Chain A
């Protein structure tokens, strides 16, 4: 029912406008703010339109755009969308719109190019979520790094060089392995489309190797436990909006990649290795929450907490492997939990990073011991922050709880130990988020830091919108479930069918 190619529009409009913003020298700050605001609003409207038009009764791909691109290697410019990509595109558009509002009140050196990079990042993200040709996916996946590299590199904190370099090389290392396996798969299956990869039959060793390559490639992006050390550094150095987009959407690309590539392609190897991978993500949940508790820097604390919450996503995905033959309904619940956790973590971590940005703006220091008794000066802000901290620790009624609840249920389906270990995150996440709340918000303002003034109008809007959505997803997530339900069932069924 759409005559115009909605997906390409969604991708290329922000990229072009971003380029315009960057390249043109003398755009004044408020004009560039206006342009960014308008474009991100337009993209949000179009993506909402997309979600409405997407009929979530079937699990087939929709809005397919397939044009011959490099005919020699039969690579196609192949865009399409299913339930999972729709929800993630919606998340990207939503978060970018919030950043546009928030960033307009910030003052950065070269504001127009700063905002331009965000628009490019938005376009690329939507591209990654809708690319169904693996090379196109890889190109978008790689090009995500460049804008963020520049955002953190130019507008970052003190030793941003180290952080950006590490972040860039880390993800690059991961994606190189991914490229090898994509090419290898394409060689066997003949075409680069992801659908054809599903029907490729590989020997067991091949499958294990490809699985490991994808695991490392996407594991670094998510970040999973052993390869996560780039995230805290990248967050500490990134400007507020940079770390918001990094935490809320960029980590989901890893999860999305896993669902799109790892699940269907390397099923047997996945089932074989699912025990170890589940232990990996459980370590991520428990160990990282302990580490998060020990942090002094607020941003590092939230960075580690997002690693822990992403641990739930990977747990959900690997449970699909584990439960595929024993109890498919638990597998479906697990995958759905992973998806909901991705969306909700996107919102909550965005909100938390906004709050930290606001506090940082007033007290010019991110250390826990420098910020004291904020609630005395900023009562409304501290109410909102407490709400987000509660959501971060999985308070029911907020979206944080829904994802964790589903993942814990499906992990109990496989074995009680997994469920118990996953459930401990309830306690651990509460301990470190409330520890931060305790020190920063409450307590006597000994140092009497006068710097805190009530947060500005833009910030209040952004935070209230986030509260509304976190509550909405927490109380009636029915609409989100409707969107992702059919495609999740489609994936899990195709897995079990394919396997037998």
Chain B
């Protein structure tokens, strides 16, 4: 049993448990932290697969940004801790049944589509050099340059829409609006009426 297989088994089992904890935990904070933990574990597994750059990105981007965001939101919204566990129990058997049925189906599906099951997953793909990041960087900036730009755009979109959705003007603050001040309209212009009598 070589070292890779052992690490794979440890981490994958841990990963599955954390994932189950994520969805079953009553307290959203707890589930957020479990999610963070599962990201760490999957980063390790990705390292195993030879995708170093992506695993580090996973940790940086996901754990750093997204999960922090989640925690922010969780903290901000005073979510009452789950009070409806009863209903939860009622649906559990159905959930498990679906879970198992689904697994069997997909695994059965995988098995007979890949002819040599024992193809080694762990492999290092060379394009210009042995380091994964260099290869990825090369590919990103030559072949997929347009998609890269679009990705940037999507992130911009993410930012702007988040702000637009949640921004509320504070009614109390007074600020000057120069354009309104200098614009004049016909109806409130002063009119001088000459007196005809003299």
- Consider the complex of A and B and state whether they touch directly, i.e. have CB atoms less than 8 Å apart: no
Residues of B that sit less than 8 Å from A by CB: none
Residues of A that sit less than 8 Å from B by CB: none
